[in-house]
Amino acid sequence: MNTTSNTGADTPLKGKRILVAKPGLDGHDVGAKVIALALRDAGANVIYTGLRKTPEYIARIAIDEDVDAVGLSILSGSHNELVTQTVAVLEQQGAGEIPVFVGGTIPADDRTAFLASGIRGVFTSEMPLADVISAIAKVLS
């Protein structure tokens, strides 16, 4: 796990604590790392979990670190199971109010379903970083 922040000027997420997590066995961490770096550049205090974390581990870190948002990055096709499990564990632990965002290879139908189920944003690799950052900033403001 790694904590990082930036105190620069262009910082719409200044003071926000954001957990970027990799649930499941997926080893594709480019997106997670790029987003973590971009969130840091936008002023957030970013905690990145590293690979292969369980929903229980992610929820525990989210609570222990008192984060303002959780981002889950999944490109293995197992996003439905892993997102549902992580959200369920957060709720069981009384942290259901923490906004959850999802990024990765998420087909359009699943994106729609996630948003309907309360996920606050779903991002794919082709979305410009500025759009991702402003969408997160809007939810957290």
End-to-end CA distance of the chain: 26
Contact between 136 and another protein (CB under 8 A)?
Answer: no
CA 88 to mean position of chain CA atoms: 15
Size of site (CB under 8 A) for another protein: 40
- We find the least distance from the C-beta atom of residue 38 to another protein, in angstroms, to be 7
Sheet with 45-48, side-by-side order of all strands: 2-4, 45-48, 17-21, 69-74, 100-104, 121-123
Is 128 one of the binding residues for another protein (CB under 8 A)? yes
How far apart CA 106 and CA 126 sit, in angstroms, is 12
From CA 75, how far away is CA 69, in angstroms rounded? 20
Q: What is the DSSP letter of 23?
A: B
Give the interface segment with another protein, choosing from 58-66, 92-100, 101-109, 113-121 (CB under 8 A).
Answer: 101-109
Q: Find the binder of another protein among 12, 14, 54, 91 (CB under 8 A).
A: 54
**Residue nearer to another protein on the CB measure, 1 or 97:** 1
Which residues of this protein are in contact with another protein, per CB under 8 A?
A: 1-2, 4, 24-30, 33-34, 36-38, 40, 46, 48-52, 54, 76-78, 81-82, 85, 105, 107-108, 124-131
